[in-house]
Structure 1
Amino acid sequence: MSKAMSPYVNRDLSWIEFNRRVLEEAQDPTTPLLERAKFLSIVSSNMDEFMSVRMAGIQDQLKAGYTKIDFTGYTPQGLWKRLIKRTGQMVSEQYRTYREVMRGLAREGIHIREMDDLNASQAAAVEQYFRTIVFPVLTPMAVDQSRPFPLLHTKELYLAVLLRDPDEELEAEPYFAIVQVPSILPRCVALPVRGNSKKLEFVLLEDLIRTFIHTLFSGYILEAVHPFRLTRNADLTLNEEGAEDLLEEIEKELRRRRWGMPVRLEIADGFHPHALDLLQEELEIGDHVVRIGGPLDLSFLMRFAGSIGGKESLRYPKLEPVYPRELEEHELIFDTIRERDVLLHHPYESFEPLAEFVQQAADDPQVLAIKMTLYRVSGQSELVQALAAAAEAGKQVTVVVELKARFDEERNIAWARQLEKAGCHVVYGLVGLKTHAKILLVVRREADQLRRYVHVGTGNYNDSTAKAYTDIGLFTSHPIIGADASALFNEVTGYSSPYEWQAFSVAPSGLTEQLFRLIDRERRHAEEGRGGYIAAKMNSLSNQEMIDKLYEASRSGVRIELIVRGVCCLRPGVPGLSENIRVVSIVDRFLEHSRLLYLRNAGEEEVYLSSADWMTRNLTRRIELMCPVFDPSLRDSLIALLRLQLADNVKARELQASGGYERMRPAEGEDPLRSQFQAERISSWKKALPHLEQA
């Protein structure tokens, strides 16, 4: 390793590389066109979160005069400059790709038109739409001595308007006003069909408003109208110790988020310099102004692509999740789980059994209690409805709702209030810790004993994301796991002395230590000639101590293969440090979200599933859970799944020592293997996964 190269990749620069991999999917000509549009939307949404959280944090450090070098070798000042340059390059590349995708869609008869391109009937239709639907919603906000600069909300689209009084001199300073493009209306407005044409045509809402904006300013001459968009610091700053009611405190912080410090200003190319000067002065935005060569905020493409009827050739083949056949053996899910553990693999298998399980528990007179953690929940959650029904049926229902799930706080507050009204005991976790563990416990009276039924998962109890994220869930009635599950809820909801976990490893109290023990055990196996092998899958790896532990194992001869979708601060392939470590990232149709750990353990194989990434926040500031998979057949299935993904040579990228990624390609004579599509084609993936060559 060169003297200039840090042993670690910077977290934020690694994130840039991840978003670049997402952008590559939008650039890939083999990706269907409407899916390419969706990937462009994801790039924008990712960038918004990065700006409002990560860049905002660096900005706070700069304002505080913080100059300390982080463990990857960067000061806040140096990192800020590097990130501004890298994100600017990515935006330029994103909009080049946008224009390419739009040209491709146009060849397929799907157009986003300029207002000047409309025929007479289309122009009349959009004018009618403006007058009846749009105009009543618009509010012009003038800025002058009597009317102060308005509060601009984060990530909303606005039009900056410069006006002249026809009675004043031309040299007079123009008047300035702001008009918000209403987010409550569709961003893409469908146009009437031209004659017998089969083309689908749209105009953007902001272009429509610009065309008729003079109706808001009668008597004035329009000089310029240009769109802009502001991103604010969106990190919540909570004083949990001093908050009498955490729910109310978070509601207050959500209101404060609207006027967090500006982080980024996006403007359209050609933006009037006078309007820009006014915005920069009022917002104190500094020089982080991004000029955009196209529509601002491409996140609208997700809804746009979903609104296109037909055109199935422009999408991925439709996936219908299968119902797990193991759960069809008995009418009640309890009867199956009592006989055997069951593994669920989303999105290839349906999320329905989770809601059914809770609904059956609600209807079953033998069920005494239901306990569950909720981190991110969908807008129309059947699971929450089932929990409410269980409480109304007289069950003891306890729900740990994480109010501090970033950007889902408002939805979680609404669910918390609804569950409380239904009679559930709602708990907001422990002070200073987010509850990120995914666990569901049902206590049932059977004969002369109580039996615990448990579901442990790697993903949120969210039926919407379960269709787009790959996650693993385990149904079990194993008594040791059941006892640990009860103890975990007792620790979160009440006062409980430290518990000696039998199966679980729980953060922040012991998960790191257990991971270190398991890695050290593989290291000893390697040093004593029994070989050592670790395979792990996660979303992010950024904890320095964990990386150092993996480096130590690598130097002792342990072979380590990591599937890390997003941020990875570990630098693989460095002689004398990490030459035994391989890191791959898979970015494909579904978001890889499951967290798995496999250790060969000198032939006594062990597999764990977890809610935790190997990041400092997960290991030290969250309640996280890692659970062993005891059933040998299920263990073998997960090992086969890891091997399948490690063999992906279509959508996998391998991390290089430089910090960049290289796309995997089939070797000469080797067949292409796309792991997600391999899993998708089989109705029962657990039985049919190929047993690839042993690692």
Structure 2
Amino acid sequence: MNVNAEEKKNNHTSPATAYLNRDLSWIEFNRRVLAEAQDPENPLMERAKFLAIVSSNLDEFISVRVAGIQDQIRAGYTKKDFTGYTPSGLYKRLIKRVTKIIADQYRTFKDISRSLHKEGIVFVDYKDLTHAQEQSIEQYYRDIIYPVLTPMAVDQSRPFPLVHSQFIYLAVVLTRKNSQEEEPYFAILQIPSNLPRCIPLPHRSNSKKRQFVFIEDVIRQHIQTLFSGYDPVAVSEFRLTRNSDLTIDEEGAEDLLEEIEKELRKRRRGVPARLEVQKGIHPYALEQLQAEFELEDFVFEIEGPLDLSFLRGFAGSVKGFSYLHHAPIEPLYPAEFEENEDFFEVLGERDVLVYHPYESFDAMTDFIIQASEDEQVMAIKMTLYRVSGKSPLITALANAAESGKQVTVVVELKARFDEERNIAWARKLEQSGCHVVYGLVGLKTHAKVTLIVRQEGPELRRYVHVGTGNYNDSTAKAYTDLSLFTANHEIGLDASELFNQMTGYSANYNWNSFIVAPTNMSLSLQKLILREAEHAAAGRPARIIAKMNSLSNQEVIDNLYSAAQAGVSIDLIVRGVCCLRPGIEGLSERITVRSIVDRFLEHSRIYYFENGGKPEVYLSSADWMTRNLTRRIELMCPVKDSNIRKQIVKILDLSLMDNVKSSFLQPNGYYERADDKKAPFRSQFAAMNVTRWKGGRALPSPTKHS
């Protein structure tokens, strides 16, 4: 997608070409993830993990975004979006882009497989097994695999069975033994997902070499054991992806939890969106699958194992190859709370910033545990969006409720693909005596905030935690996020009001410090951006640094364009989707957009406004997307403490200094790696030295990337 000649000639951008398309931009993000899988500087098993992420990212993209576009096409929707694409026009481009990235993905898999082979980690073809290995696998098949297999024939009396989304199946074409019938028989077989995808082969105790065979290859080799009296003509893998978006009638639902459970059952039968088949699949099998799923164009022949997301678990399961991974880091416990374990005493004196994953999420868990055990704590209120499978926070909240404290938890049941887990947590919390609220009708609760109310003498004091990421101890080890602990009075008042609005009826409120979506965030962002433009016009210092996951709201983009034209310098650090087109003369030449994809997922939302020399810094749960500003409860919290503001600016500076893992968005919508002559500087490696960015000390020195 090159900038067209007319655009170059006129040095201006039409309304449509002023923006990049959200879905095409997402493809480019996944390509940056793929680049990490291709980077020989990354440890080999880390490359395998990145390749797994590419696969799982693509699954979600197709099951939600592509499936939604397919729905629009079926409905006859032809209106262009603000980036100038009709659904059908965008769909054609997505087919090309997805086809290309899948081809690159499997070329990368072959490259990684060859490199693993050199290290002694081998994916073995069944035909190459030694006699001893074959005997071992045959016994494993008889004892473990065969008992859980269920062949499902497809004929006049047995209709096509339900094919679950994103599971691997075998399509089996058969003929009856000693029969002259011309029409073949057809059956399908689900590969058990609760057995290892890669089965380890026996090895000598003194050998470092590790060999594996895919479970689908084992089943294919033994397929005749399932169809006695028939001859298998062809056996091929296939995998279906269905539309996974939920359609929930919140206003008409008497019980939101039950309504979501009902929709989750429907998800299993979502409209087919993509079919992946093994390269060389038998034509009759492909004909049967396409007829059943009514898919013509989003069908991909795959040369290699379907669903490479297995590589994430595989990379962590192979023992004895630690040198193929990043050296582990041990998150430091925040020094402020290590010196004094009484959170309330510390926060009574100062605010505390915690930088994950370099500093431990255990501080958040300990904060809630201490509150649950403190006799002076009267109430605990918390939002939960995505929680880990064995969250210690749930236990602490339950214990607090059982001890007689007022515990209120706003659980977002509609967090996509975490609905079932959140339903389970909601029920456990309710059983423990917590007040569980499912949020407001029509809005997802995405804000990450905790309020603790404590009796201190004759007064009640509020302690607040605000985060940029979820209350999830697992992702806190892999995502970069910021946590702010504070006892600031104004922030405490706003936190109380925010929970009142989420749990009860509350009129419009004049926020002291918070900026809240959908109430006032959109308008506040407009004012903050245009204020910078006014400062620039008056010759005062004017700059915006915004770090987020995605930028796709047209109004925000237009405001940024206006500010840039007024002279504001704007640095955007956008990990994923970005619909703003930088570097257009007369429109956005003062705007840079960079994306950092590295060992940890960049997840923090940080917004900095120079404000004429009186900088303001905000931590937020919200990206600058339409859904965040209009359809979610989101929060922007100002950082009041000047020392913490300096710490956050240093974190932003680290990102702006990165010249190893940064890619810069070009006007044509593609990204180019940073290319300068300075010493290599990798922001995440620099940030690992937590003690140096705290306490007003100097920035970490540039860290060699290799």
**Correspondence list, 1:92-491, <5 A:** 92-169=103-180, 172-194=182-204, 196-491=206-501
Q: Is the 8 A contact 2:552 2:626 kept in 1?
A: yes
Tell me the CA shift for residue 304 of structure 1.
0.2
User: Matched residue of 1:545: which SS?
Assistant: helix
Deviations 1:338-365 (A, max 9, x none): 1110001000000001111111111111
What secondary structure does 2:18 align onto? coil
**Unpaired segments of 5 or more residues in structure 1?**
none
Query: How much has 1:329 moved relative to structure 2?
Result: 2.3
Q: Distance in 1 between matches of 2:542 and 2:613?
A: 10
String of CA shifts for 1:61-84, please: whole Å, max 9, x gaps. Answer: 000000111111111111000000
* Displacement after TM superposition at 1:198 (Å): 1.7
Summarize deviations over 1:401-433 as a string: whole Å, max 9, x none.
000000000000000000000100000000000
* 1:86 is aligned to 2:89: no
- Residue from 494, 498, 507 that aligns with 2:504: 494
1:36 aligns with 2:47: yes
**Does the Cα contact within 8 Å between 2:548 and 2:573 map onto a contact in 1?**
yes
Distance in 2 separating the partners of 1:531 and 1:287:
53
Distance 2:105 2:264 in 1: 31
- Secondary structure of 1:625's aligned partner: strand
CA contact (8 A) 1:268 1:296 kept: yes
- For structure 1, which segment, 648-657 or 304-313, has the greater mean C-alpha deviation from structure 2 after superposition? 304-313
Instruction: Name the SS of the counterpart of 2:135 in structure 1.
Output: helix
Which residue in 2 is equivalent to 1:680?
688
Amino acid at match of 2:597: V
Tell me, in whole angstroms, the C-alpha distance in 2 between the residues paired with 1:251 and 1:122: 45
TM-score (norm 2): 0.96
SS of 1:497 mapped into structure 2:
coil
Give 2:610's aligned residue.
600
Counterpart secondary structure, 1:336: helix
CA distance in 2 between counterparts of 1:683 and 1:285 reads: 55
Per the normalisation by structure 1, the TM-score is: 0.98
Shift of 1:52: 0.3
Tell me if structure 1 keeps the 8 A contact 2:692–2:700: no
Please provide the CA RMSD for this pair.
1.2
C-alpha contact (below 8 Å) 2:536/2:568 kept by paired residues: yes
Please tell me the residue identity of whatever aligns with 1:621: R
| Rounded Cα–Cα distance in structure 2 between residues aligned with 1:112 and 1:470 | 34
CA distance in 1 between partners of 2:419 and 2:243 (Å) = 16
Task: Give the aligned partner of residue 10 of structure 2.
Answer: none
The 8 Å contact of residues 373 and 435 in structure 1, kept in 2 or not, is answered as yes
Superposed CA deviations along residues 128-156 of structure 1, whole A, max 9, x for unmatched, are 11111111111000001110100100001
Q: Secondary structure at the match of 1:613?
A: coil
Change (3 A) 1:624 1:682: closer
Q: Distance in 1 between matches of 2:599 and 2:339?
A: 31
CA shift at 1:117, angstroms?
Answer: 1.4
Partner of 2:344, secondary structure, is helix
Alpha-carbon separation, structure 2, partners of 1:689 and 1:88: 47
Q: Which amino acid aligns with 1:31?
A: N
1:562-598 CA distance string (max 9 Å, x none): 0000000000010010010000000000000000011
- Residues 378-420 of structure 1: CA deviation (Å, up to 9, x unaligned): 0000011111111111110000000000000000000000000
The offset of 1:196, in angstroms, is 4.2
Secondary structure at 1:405 match in 2: coil
The question of 1:21 aligning with 2:32 is answered yes
Alignment check: 8 A CA contact 2:43 2:326 kept: yes
Give the whole-Å Cα distance in 2 for the aligned partners of 1:197 and 1:42. Answer: 31
Counterpart residue number, 1:59: 70
SS in structure 1 opposite 2:672?
strand
Secondary structure (helix, strand or coil) at the match of 2:593 reads strand
Structure 1 residue matching 2:585: 3-state secondary structure: coil
Which residue is equivalent to 1:71? Answer: 82
Q: Could you tell me which amino acid in structure 2 is paired with residue 685 of structure 1?
A: W
Query: SS at the partner of 2:694?
Result: helix
**Displacement, 1:219?**
1.5
Secondary structure of 1:474 counterpart: strand
Shift of 1:666: 3.5
Q: Is the 8 A contact 1:454 1:482 kept in 2?
A: yes
Post-superposition offset of 1:310:
2.5
SS, match of residue 242 in structure 1:
coil
Q: Please report how far the alpha carbon of residue 684 of structure 1 lies from its aligned counterpart in structure 2 after TM superposition.
A: 5.0
